Structure 1
Amino acid sequence: MGRSEREAVARGARLHTAARSLLSDHERAVRAARDALAPILDEAVARTLDVMPVARLQEATEGRLRLDAVERAGLATVAQVLDAGPGRLQQIPGVGRVTSTQLLGAARRLADAVHDSVAVHIDVDRPEPRTTELVRTLHVLVEAGPDARRAVAAAGALDRRLGPLLDTAGPAAGRLRMLVTGRAGRARALAAVDEVRGVVGEAERAGTEGLLAQASVDLLRGPASDVAAWVDFELRSAEYYGLLGEISGRAPDTAAVEGFLPEGIAGQVHGQHLVDDRLKVSLRGYQAFGARFALARRRVVLGDEMGLGKTVQAIAVLTHLVAEGQSHFMVVCPASVLVNWTREIEARSALRAVPLHGPGRADAFADWKGRGGVAVTTFDALRGFPVPGGGELGMLVVDEAHSVKNPLTLRARAVAEWAARCERVLLMTGTPMENRVAEFRSLVRLLDAGLADRLDGDAGLAGSVAFRKAVAPVYLRRNQEDVLTELPSLQHTDEWEEPSERDEAAYRDAVRAGNFMAMRRAAYAHPEGSAKLRRLRDLVREAAENGLKVVVFSYFRDVLDAVHGALEAGTAPVSGPVFGPLTGAVPPARRQALVDAFSAAAGPAVLVAQIQAAGLGLNIQAASVVILCEPQIKPTLEHQAVARAHRIGQLRPVRVHRLLAPGGVDERMVRILTDKARLFDAYARRSAVAEATPDALDVSDTDLARRIVEEEQARLGLADGSDGSASGHAPQSPSAPAHEQPPS
């Protein structure tokens, strides 16, 4: 009871002061951002109320109000009712004090609901003083980075622990105070001093005091210049919008963030701690939940919709496992995204990425075995590596896991062998269902054979809600619209173009031959007379005039060549530079280089890409116009392609144009695609309304092609043998189209 105790209390007090100081600095920075947000939010609310019809007041009162007199008085919107106030409302014949009070109460409830739900979009193309101030204040918090976030969390914990302890230990800070304190008080003070020593010791070992000091410095630097803040916003808008959601209090619905998991499983996930010290980025709330789900459940499918950051969630899981002492991890992915995975690991974490690809992969594998890190390899290359022994691998991550949905393929067998030897497995896919529940069951079997057995052949027909409940132990899925309210709008337009005479002739020839794939691309057989190409050039020209970048997707190589030629024809290209074609024949590193060059191009540009190659794993946020040259057999191909542009980091509204010819294969495919998309929605997107039918589950792509060919031959009168019909022959398989080079 002397100098040692006084020093311990003094050290605790200094640490407590540093923690309180950081909390104050952080609160000041947050308050500045909230103050900058308030007028923008108020304007967004006002705009919404200005166009909200007064009839909505009936909904807010369950039809109890009569609004005829109000509308006759010229009050057509909710905003006008609020502006009128009780005085003017009561001047309207038939509206007394009680009715006016009810009207205003309903209007205010609607205004509050709008205020709680309206999303603020920051327009990078039209910066104005208010949005510039918001971006500058957010820049302070973003620039401080994840270390500041961790420091603030540590400061809050220290404040909660040290505050009461220092109050109790107060008498030990001075000899006289201890003398006048009773025996029980002295005992409590000495016990508190011991606890203060423990807290201070923990902080010193963790380097917390330095972390607090650096975070305070970062938060006190003040906003950057307008230009620097806007440039940084364009580079990492997802982080700005994430912070904006936090400071505005507009967090996504908790149930949506948790993938509508049953309460018991969600509770287990909440109890899972996540150590993110080795992450270089801050996680969104739903991303942190996804990482904890993978840790708590150990062997899972992360089925988030494209664009929600499944990769960073996987990296967060790996950084946590490193903190627990694990050292070796394996990521298996398509060759097209191997470079992207390596980049993401290095940019977003302190982990070591080891690509196992190409001629030197055997040496790289030996290096990884010796030194550890995150090995990244392809499905085909995985088969050449020895399967690990039990406990050697901290986690197996399989990206685009629907690639191994067929358990009979060599790649699926290799993944199954590795998964069987790993305690932790993370399968990642935004499209786990595609057309058959059975295919999803094959993924579940990689994780939990018992659960897969319980998902018998009729499980899907029991309904989407029951199915999601059955797979909840291993499956988590969230949708963009539920958790990314800040994403700019996504507008789909079907561009129906009447075929030219040459288009019609090419189409009839393809139908007569029973060639399904030739039917799909007949509109591009004669580029000089193609109606679709004419419309495509118009769309690209319009985008270029507005300074926008365009990505053009097709399934077919010869269509891509036709598009490339059409865009570069003439003395003056309509689009700016044209990049590509990006196809399955292009090496993975070159694919990423093409995307990088397209993104870096100043002003408008076009990327021409094969939908199977560029629709898989690459991020094309620079594009704000997407053109689909033809409808796809699988709705997931279109979803994937659009999600390459409309995803986290996108700054502008995305417009999707699908080029279609009426009356033929396009129209039939659009109708069938709608049915397939409904099935996908029911099982992968949590729809309780759209239920599957056996026919929807069982139709194969070959059957689809044969059916369309036969229907078109009949419609065009080309089904009899005298006309040269090949209707007696099976149509060309959609899985191996002519003039098509499949992606690796």
Structure 2
Amino acid sequence: MSDQGESPDADRMRSSVGKPARDLIRRIDELRTRAEALVGKPEALREQAREQLAVLTRRQIGSELENLPVTALQEVMGKRVSTLEQAGYRTIGRLAGVSTAELVALPGIGPKTAEKITEAVRAVVADVAKSARFRFQPDRPDDEQRNLLATLTAIRRADRAATQLIGPVRELTGITHEWLAAAAPARRRLSMWFSGRDKKQAALLALSRLETIDKHPRTGWLAGEITRHEQAVALTGYTDEQLWREYADDAAAVNATLSTVGGVEVEVEAAQGFIPEELRQRITAIPLDLSLIKSTLRGYQVFGAQYLIHQERSILGDEMGLGKTIQALAAAAHLAARGQQRFLVVCPASVQMNWLNEISKHTRLEAHNLHGAHREGAARRWLRDGGVAVTTFGTLGSLEVLKGHDQALLIVDEAHYVKNPKARRTQVVAAAVAAAQRVVFLTGTPMENRVEEFRNLVEQLQPATARGLKATNAVAGAKQFRRAVAPVYLRRNQEDVLTELPDKIEIDDWVLPSPADQTAYVAAVRSGNLMKMRQAAFEAQDSAKLERIGEIIEEAREDGRKVIVFSFFLGVLDRIQQTICPAAGSIRGAVRPAERQRLVDEFTAARDHAVLLCQIEAGGVGLNMQAASVVILAEPHWKPSAEEQAIARAHRMGQIRTVQVHRVLAKDSVDERIREVQEHKRLLFDEYARKSDAKDLDRRAVDPLQQPSRIQDEVPRPQDKPRPRALDDENLPTEQRIVLAEQHRLGIAAETIRHQDKN
């Protein structure tokens, strides 16, 4: 019989006392333990990764020291360096750890010299250790790298599991903690026999609650999810080949995870864009909600998203390849987690598909395509359901259905497209800006030509800040300018925050034009047609540029590297495709965005060598092509930013190999004049838009006066003629002055130039 006053649930559970109770309590307790372990797994794995990373870093430091010859101590040792070499200490690595007493034992080395050597070696070791940056080397895999890679892959999966299950796990542990303790006496009949009435009643009620939880469908679902994630974290069935292939496919995600275990040392001030301390504190005061983000964000990306949210209307001007897209999406996801619904992206048509892919890849927000025949219906669904809508500059103005509706966040990608206030595109975007609660302009090149254009962008976002930007800000120098724009502009550079990024080697491949090249070029100069002059190097059958490009592609094929070739001209791309690589894909302005993305995906998926041809204005913006590690620029572009954006398609987060950039340039041609124009524009951008002070420009162009060529022999040069004044007339378009310069250099149309000088 039941005790008087015992509840029906308690009475029902009396038959479960003993083994049934023990089994039930064990199942619930094991599930809770496994759930808590899974949620805590990321930190445990990170500690394991730190230990593995420390081993690899020490190995790297040792390797670098072994490559430093002992002759580096020449200033300290003088001629006695040979004594160290003869004793077997040929590298700094061999000297590291050698005591002063051991050095004194060597002939000719006294206590003072030994102490100097020891101090010098310590200083070198400290410098190497300070600058050491671990990077995976997939071309030289080994067990230590593989083990760290496996741990980082497990961390990524554990992070996903913890994010998805943290809510249900907390719910389970919260409601079962007291009930498991209360039900404990029911595990044995003897314990229940000697328990008091209240304790016995509590045990039976707790057992009833645990039984309800055990049979609940949500508990079954949670148990299945825990098992699935445990297997994923354990990398069950994973091979070394799969680990390295996943790294090659998504190295950005792996390195982002590495940054969370201390594998990427970043200067805090650089990661936060060198903004004033007071503003930084206000920005970081509110934590970023990442519950709707699938990917791991790096520290500087978290701060970037916080900046965009706090400042409300701002420009994210990070250098290409630092993940402006994911930072903007993280800001949107944060707002969505706080109850906001509608987010709108406006971008060039060439990158619209990429945005839609990135939304699905990095967030749990729904993506809507507001472009094409079904854009109106898609817009209505977006207005009803919320999510991230993506449209183009050209389509935005025709979406009547959007009028009268605001957005929680408007993201304008490649915002330098709207720097001209008189342009229709700018005016359409300005109307959208006015209707948005928050606005983010994304652009890596807001200072392409002059500071005034940057001011025009600021005017659309923060008119008061724009009014405060005076000419004296620019005159005073870059630091004063940056202080003035801190409330609206955040920029970080690759060298500051992407320390694990492989090196970028830029090579100026100057070629000597063939006689046929020269004939075609002189004819183009004589015609006064600048576009013909720029393409003349590709006309001849024995084109020197085509030959050099073919050599670079062949070398890349032998090394298993993928290649992107950029040119402004369709005709040049056609010649390269016909002559060198007929199987290569080709991205051009006329190729629809979806097809561009398909070509990029095929290029990325190809194993080993592949070639992709791109018109620089179409393929050089917005697309991610980090599968390529060789970039060829078939001719120089007017704007350095266009070249830099093209290079950044490959040299960006996710790149795992050193990137070779080949600028193929024709000696004694218009290429030299365009490089001169480039230098001026790059200087302006570096001075005012980069945090670092303007650096010495790398002038690697060959001086034509130092290397005579057969062209110089064949074409008379008016060295004895005065420089035409028209070449320095800034009222003339730059393109016209370049044509005149080449005509003057080659002794063509001299009468025309003299006539212009007289006028």
3-state secondary structure, aligned to 1:120: coil
Give the drift of 1:386.
3.9
CA distance change for structure 1 residues 19 and 220 in 2, over 3 Å: closer, same or farther? same
Q: Secondary structure at the match of 1:358?
A: coil
Match status 1:429 vs 2:467: no
Partner of 1:579: 585
Letter matched to residue 584 of structure 2: V
How far apart are 1:515 and its partner, in Å? Answer: 1.6
CA distance in 1, matches of 2:225, 2:732: 61
**1:653, distance to aligned residue in structure 2 (A):** 1.4
Contact 1:117 1:250 in 2 (8 A): no
Q: Determine helix, strand or coil for the equivalent of 1:626.
A: strand
- Equivalences for 1:30-49 in 2 at 5 Å? 30-49=46-65
Q: State the TM-score, normalized to the length of structure 1.
A: 0.81
* Corresponding residue SS for 2:346: strand
Deviations 1:271-318 (A, max 9, x none): 122111111111111111110110111111001111111111111111
Distance 1:344 1:672 in 2: 36
Q: What is the aligned partner in structure 2 of residue 705 from structure 1?
A: 735
Equivalent residues of 1:710, 1:727 under 8 A apart: no
Question: How many Å separate the matches in 1 of 2:137 and 2:495?
Answer: 19
- The residue number in structure 2 matching 1:186 is none
Measure, in 1, the Cα distance between the counterparts of 2:506 and 2:696. Answer: 24
- The structure 1 residue matched to 2:246, chosen from 232, 239, 262, is 232
Query: 2:476 matched to 1:462?
Result: yes
TM-aligned CA distance change 1:402 to 1:615, over 3 Å: same
**Aligned letter for 1:538?**
E
One-letter amino acid of the counterpart of residue 682, structure 1: E
CA contact (8 A) 1:578 1:607 kept: yes
Displacement after TM superposition at 1:664 (Å): 2.2
Matching residue of 1:3: none
Out of 552-561 and 245-254, give the one that drifted further.
245-254
**Aligned CA distance change for structure 1 residues 680 and 209 (closer, same or farther; 3 Å):** farther
In 2: Cα distance, 1:364 partner to 1:274 partner: 30
Tell me how far 1:396 sits from its aligned partner: 0.6
Question: Which residue number in structure 2 is paired with residue 374 of structure 1?
Answer: 388
Alpha-carbon distance, 1:438 to partner: 0.7
Q: Which of 552, 560, 565 is residue 578 of structure 2 equivalent to?
A: 565
> For residues 212-252 of structure 1, what are the alpha-carbon distances to aligned partners after superposition, in whole Å with 9 as ceiling and x for unaligned?
99877754567833223222222221122122233245431
Structure 2 counterpart of 1:343? 357
Say if 2:475 is the partner of 1:493: no
Q: Structure 1 residues 707 and 487, CA, compared in 2 at 3 Å: closer, same or farther?
A: same
One of 637, 641, 644 as aligned partner of 1:636: 641
CA RMSD of aligned residues (A): 3.7
Give per-residue Cα distances to partners, 1:623-661, cap 9 Å, x unaligned. 111110001110001100000011111121111111011
**Greater Rg over alpha carbons, structure:** 2
SS of match in other structure, 2:260: helix
Distance 2:321 2:114 in 1: 47
| Range that drifts further, 251-260 or 236-245 | 236-245
For the 8 Å contact 1:279–1:348, the answer to whether it is kept is yes
Alignment of 1:150-229 (within 5 A): 219=233, 224-229=238-243
Judge conservation of contact 2:351–2:621 (CA < 8 Å) in 1.
yes
**1:340-397 superposed Cα distances (whole Å, 9 cap, x missing partner):** 1011111211111111111222222222222222111000111112496788310110
Look up the match of 1:530.
543
**Partner Cα distance (2:167, 2:316) in 1:** 27
Instruction: Find out whether 1:621 has 2:634 as its counterpart.
Output: no
1:519 to 533, 540, 543: 533
Q: Tell me what 2:101 maps to.
A: 87
Note if 1:384 corresponds to 2:384.
no
- Letter aligned with residue 711 of structure 1: A
Cα deviation 1:313-332 (Å, max 9, x = unaligned): 11111111111211111100
Corresponding letter in the other structure for 1:586: V
- Judge which range, 17-26 or 305-314, deviates more: 17-26
Alpha carbons 1:388, 1:421 under 8 Å: kept:
no
Correspondence 1:333 to 2:363:
no
The one-letter amino acid of 1:469's match is: R
Equivalent position of 2:467 in the other structure = 453
Q: In the alignment, residue 631 of structure 2 is paired with which amino acid?
A: V
User: Do the aligned partners of 1:307 and 1:646 also contact (CA within 8 Å) in 2?
Assistant: yes
Q: 1:563 to 1:214 in 2, by over 3 A?
A: closer
Aligned to 2:4: none
Q: Match of 2:304?
A: 290
Partner SS for 2:578: helix
For 1:685, the equivalent position in structure 2 comes to 690
1:562-611 CA distance string (max 9 Å, x none):
1111114xxxx7xxx3111x111111111111112222233322111100
CA contact (8 A) 2:290 2:330 kept: yes
2:609 alignment counterpart = 604
C-alpha distance in 2, partners of 1:463/1:210? Answer: 61
Larger mean Cα displacement after TM superposition, 145-154 or 625-634: 145-154
1:527-572 Cα shifts (integer Å, max 9, x gaps)? x12110011111111111222111100011111111111114xxxx
Given residue 304 of structure 1, which amino acid in structure 2 is its aligned partner?
D
Please tell me whether the aligned partners of residues 354 and 623 of structure 2 are also in contact (alpha carbons under 8 angstroms).
Answer: yes
Contact map agreement 1:145 1:281 (CA 8 A) in 2: no
Alignment counterpart, residue 560 of structure 2, candidates 532, 538, 547:
547
**1:674 counterpart residue number:** 679
Deviation of 1:90 after TM superposition, in Å, equals 1.6
2:554 partner letter: R
Cα distance in 1 for partners of 2:751, 2:116 equals 75
Cα gap change, 1:388 to 1:600, in 2 (>3 Å): closer
Q: 1:232 to 1:331 in 2, by over 3 A?
A: same
Contact 1:540 1:550 in 2 (8 A): yes
Retained in 1: the 8 A contact 2:686–2:693?
no
Q: What secondary structure does 2:734 align onto?
A: helix
Residue 124 (structure 1) aligned to one of 138, 143, 159: 138
Q: Is the 8 A contact 1:498 1:662 kept in 2?
A: yes
SS at match of 1:419: helix
SS at match of 2:319: coil
Mean Cα deviation higher: 356-365 or 699-708: 699-708
Match of 1:201 in 2: none
Query: Distance between the aligned counterparts of 2:564 and 2:355, measured in 1?
Result: 22
Length, aligned pairs only:
661
Tell me how far apart the structure 2 counterparts of residues 657 and 310 of structure 1 sit (CA, whole Å): 26
Q: Which residue of 1 aligns with 2:497?
A: 483
Quick check: 1:55–1:67 contact (8 Å CA) kept in 2?
Answer: no
Taking a change above 3 Å as real, the CA distance of residues 546 and 66 of structure 1, as seen in their structure-2 partners, is closer
Residue 15 of structure 1 deviates from its aligned partner by 12
Question: Which amino acid in 1 is paired with 2:500?
Answer: E
**Structure 2: gaps (5+ residues):** 1-28, 186-217, 698-727
Q: 1:250 to 1:605 in 2, by over 3 A?
A: closer
Q: Structure 2 matches for 1:5-44, cutoff 5 A? A: 21=37, 25-44=41-60
Tell me which amino acid in the other structure corresponds to 2:560: G
CA distance in 1, matches of 2:133, 2:118: 24
Q: Measure, in 2, the Cα distance between the counterparts of 1:272 and 1:475.
A: 20
Deviation of 1:622 after TM superposition, in Å, equals: 1.6
TM-score (norm 2): 0.79
Q: CA deviation at 1:31?
A: 3.7
SS of 1:681 mapped into structure 2:
helix
Tell me by how many angstroms 1:508 deviates: 1.3
Match of 2:750 in 1: 720
Q: 1:24 to 1:339 in 2, by over 3 A?
A: closer
Shift of 1:672: 2.9
Matched, 1:69 2:80: yes
Q: Give me the whole-angstrom Cα distance separating, in 1, the residues matched to 2:744 and 2:279.
A: 54
Letter matched to residue 69 of structure 1: R
SS in 2 for 1:652: coil
Deviates more, 1:41-50 or 1:604-613: 41-50
1:17, 1:405 → 2: CA distance? 57
- The separation in 1 between residues aligned to 2:729 and 2:276, in whole angstroms, is 32
Q: CA deviation at 1:39?
A: 3.6
